[in-house]
Chain A
Amino acid sequence: MRLEIKKTYKLFIGGKFPRSESGRIYKVNNHKGDFLANVAKASRKDVRDSVVVARSAQSGWAGASAYNRGQVLYRIAEMLEGRREQFVAEIRELTGKSEKQANQEVDNAIDSWVWHAGWTDKIESVAGNMNPVAGPFFNISTNQPTGVVAAFAPQDSALVGLVNTIAPAIVSGNSVIVVTSESLPLAAVTLAEVLETSDLPGGVVNILTGNAKELGSWLASHMDVNAIDLEGISNAAELEMLAAETLKRVIRPGTYSRSAAKGALQHILDFMEIKTVWHPKGN
């Protein structure tokens, strides 16, 4: 009998797959409690490295055309579809879901990428405005990505919750540092492999496995993070207080559903800033 080759589950930072700088790991069991893998346990240094690469990747990603960003997001859906079996297997192993339930979750994850892909070049049509001001001025309001987003994926979802946390942040041109579900991290690392092969520039999505509560305060108080999504965090009020110190945009837990085959426009807009430009009209 051939011995199976098992995967080493590492972090995803700047388009690369490093171990935690700290060398720390934690044990992940399957739904029956049997050992599955040793997963990298991200540290404060990993958080800081992620913010640095997320910041440097952000302007390029935001500067890509909306058409281009849409195609990259669609490409993620294509890659995910191609590796469906692996995700179904990981979800089942981790959660004990039936094959049908696991397939449904993967369907929703793929379809949500497609739903988000279609928004890139429509956000402005729906959420921007020409403003009829009472004077001889051209006046337009547009939406611009807020910058670097820190996010905590829901703890009870192996894949679709993570997708519905990442996609609304990056669709408009933000970069994101996402902390996965602590107990269900394997599909997240596999998703990183999908992202890595989808023409997504390195650093736009950074995935940290580990203890959300431990990593939370470092992300919430980081001076170079613009917005924070507290969905999967247990001490949300505490982190909202830390985030207030730099007036980060905050999404409180439970604001948006993360399990469907689509997201919410308002979720996308929560990571965007409205900019209004005036210019006189004249000869």
Chain B
Amino acid sequence: MFDYAPAPESRDLVKFQDSYGHFIGGKFTKPSNTYGTINPATEETLAQISHGTAKDVDAAVKAARNAYEKTWSKLDGATRGKYLYRIARIIQERSRELAVAETLNNGKPIKETRDADIPLAASWFFYYAGWADKLDYAGLGPNPMAHGVAAQVVPWNFPLMMLAWKIAPALAAGNTVVLKPAETTPLSALLFAEICQQAELPDGVVNIVTGFGDTGAELFDHSDINKVAFTGSTNVGKIIAKQIAGTNKKATLELGGKAANIVFEDAALDQAVEGIVNGIFFNQGHVCCAGSRLLVQESVQDVLIKKLKARMENIRLGDPMDKNTDIGAINSKAQLTKIDRLVKQGVKEGGQSWAPTCAMPKNGFWYAPTIITGVAPTNTVAREEIFGPVLSVMTFRTPAEAVAKANNSQYGLSAGVWTEKGSRILKMADQLNAGVVWANTYNQFDPASPFGGFKESGYGREGGRHGLLSYLKGSH
């Protein structure tokens, strides 16, 4: 193995304020009811964040309603689109700063924020900007309408990218929004509020309220919102679905997953190993569509696991700001505890866990990339979402068995298939109950491509024309 000299990105590219209020009606409120947000790689406090109350939520919804009635719904689509293009450009201009901010607050490697999170966030705005004046072609007939005020809550795993997935289509369709970032990762959303100001977006079109789960519950409970969009856990998704039962609120829910990554004996195994590593260790496995269940055909199990272990020995875990780092910090202590508990449970239920030896930094939250072999379909680690760098390994003999095992889950967000046989890919793709199927690749995202789940992975799509429909209704 080569030795790498440290190659840290500059911390000075971003300056946070000491404390932040909410962004309501185009202005930041005075910080109040604050809590500290940290860098999970060092546990250093980065800034003080306001914990939103029912009153803050109400002010934000009022600002969004006002902006919807008086400004945004009166603008023509081309003009709305131009604002989105401006936002896309400013994200590109400030991309290094945003990448550093995201890495500091989330703990994910700088190479991921630099090459994935931030470019995808920009591309999402650029893509939906072009839809704003073409809504007649979305598939709902002429003159489709916005819902009105969209309430959006995003998770901590891709903070700015998830914000872009939510805000870009909502604004393109003509809605105004109130968005709550995750409690542990609010900083990029607050920088985004500044970007809205720089883009001269009309006041109140985008409102950011920071806080915890109770803040999000207040938001979804508000009587004057028309649309609910949530990305997060299946348990919270169910609570939200109950919360809006009997109302006219429409929902898009992007929830948990337990994706099967299926490797057939004829697959290009070295390529598959890269796909497996990308599938489960990208973003520390904090990915709802992570390929967390490896289903390997029995005949190649030994050789594949040997190759996988050899590859894992070369994964670099450590300082997220280092450009050579593959695996950064776990986002929070709570998440680390959960990962640890589930892995111990999986071993207790008969799995054998293995991780390469890697030095752990002293401060912060870390978990070594881990595989658990000998996992029975009933094992907790084969059923529950771990949301960490942990791969459960199972085997199969026939394609039918692979499909049965892959579909044996409450979830249905994504799946991977590795084989050199084209007809098999197409048949597997037909049979897998998953909203995204990656064949001979994994974890690809694009604003033109719809993303979302079957079953308890939620409903509605984000991305592409279908993602636009989540924020429109027909004018019949």
Contacts and interface: CB of A to CB of B under 8 A. Distances in A.
B is bound to A: yes
B444 A137 contact: yes
Interface stretch (B30-38, B195-203, B358-366, B451-459): B451-459
A64 interface: no
Given A274-B461, A275-B434, A277-B437, A247 B448 contact: no
Contacts of A279: 425, 439-441
Given A276-B437, A279-B440, A279-B441, 15 more contacts: A126-B139, A141-B464, A240-B241, A241-B242, A241-B245, A244-B241, A247-B455, A247-B458, A247-B459, A273-B433, A275-B434, A275-B437, A276-B436, A276-B464, A278-B441
Contacts of B438: 277-278
A107 B429 CA distance: 40
Contact of B466 (A129, A133, A236, A247): A129
A139 B461 CA distance: 15
Interface string B247-267: 010000101000000000000
A109 B248 CA distance: 29
B439 A249 contact: no
B435 A275 contact: yes
Contact of A247 (B255, B450, B452, B464): B255
Contact of A137 (B139, B237, B430, B441): B441
A279 B444 CA distance: 10
Nearest to A139: B449
By CB atoms of chain B within 10 A, which of A226, A241, A266, A273 has the most?
A: A273
Interface in B410-453: 412, 425, 429-430, 433-441, 444, 446, 448-452
A36 interface: no
Given A266-B474, A279-B425, A133 B446 contact: yes
Nearest to A247: B456
B18 to A, nearest CB: 39
Contact of B459 (A137, A241, A249, A280): A249
Contact of A244 (B140, B242, B441, B446): B242
Interface string B315-345: 0000000000000000000000000000000
By CB atoms of chain A within 10 A, which of B248, B253, B464, B474 has the most?
A: B464
A245 interface: yes
Contacts of B448: 131-134, 139
A180 to B, nearest CB: 24
B292 interface: no
Interface in A50-66: none
B326 to A, nearest CB: 21
B453 to A, nearest CB: 8
B238 interface: yes
B124 to A, nearest CB: 11
A280 B455 CA distance: 27
Interface string A241-279: 101111101001000000000001010000001111111
Contacts of B455: 226, 247
Contacts, number: 109
Contacts of A280: 440-441
A236 B238 CA distance: 17
A279 B242 CA distance: 37
Contacts of A135: 444, 446
B234 interface: yes
B293 interface: no
Given A226-B455, A274-B435, A275-B435, A129 B237 contact: no
Contact of B456 (A146, A240, A246, A278): A246
B123 interface: yes
B245 A277 contact: no
Given A247-B458, A249-B459, A273-B435, A278 B474 contact: no
A226 B438 CA distance: 24
Contacts of A141: 449-450, 464, 466
Interface in B75-108: none
B455 to A, nearest CB: 7
B449 A276 contact: yes
Given A247-B234, A277-B437, A131 B255 contact: no
18 contacts: A131-B449, A134-B123, A135-B444, A240-B242, A241-B245, A241-B246, A247-B234, A264-B476, A274-B435, A275-B436, A276-B437, A276-B451, A278-B438, A278-B441, A278-B444, A279-B425, A279-B441, A280-B440
A278 B248 CA distance: 35
A240 B245 contact: yes
A237 B248 CA distance: 11
Contact of A274 (B234, B444, B450): B450
A66 B440 CA distance: 28
Contacts of B383: none
A277 B430 CA distance: 9
Contact of A276 (B255, B435, B456): B435
Given A134-B446, A226-B455, A241-B242, A278 B436 contact: yes
Nearest to A273: B454
B465 interface: yes
B232 to A, nearest CB: 13
Given A135-B444, A246-B456, A247-B237, A276 B474 contact: no
A278 B437 contact: yes
Given A247-B255, A275-B436, A279-B439, A129 B450 contact: yes
Contacts of A264: 476
